[in-house]
Amino acid sequence: MTTSTPRWFTSSYSENGGQCIEIAANLSASLGVVSVRDSKHPAGPVLTVPAGAFATLVAAVKEGDHTS
């Protein structure tokens, strides 16, 4: 079953300090994208990135290969 409705979630590592993002990865298989939004403004703008680019970003962060 494919869907075009994002299912938003916040990382379990989030400490609810108000500096969080939510992602909707359920669109990756059907549309090839990951949607990202500010958890403080759920009705605000959504950034949609190619799933491969998002995976590269996550891998770089896990490896510590990023800059602040």
Model confidence over 25-35: pLDDT tens digits? 998 888 999 99
The pTM score is 0.77
Of the CA atoms within 13 Å of residue 42, those in its CB half-sphere come to 9
Mapped onto helix, strand or coil, the DSSP state of residue 68 is: coil
Residue 55 sits in which domain range? 21-63
Q: How far is CA 24 from the centre of its chain?
A: 6
- Domains in the chain: how many in total? 1
The reply to whether 43 falls in a domain is: yes
Domain contains 54? yes
pLDDT, tens only, 54-68: 999 989 988 887 665
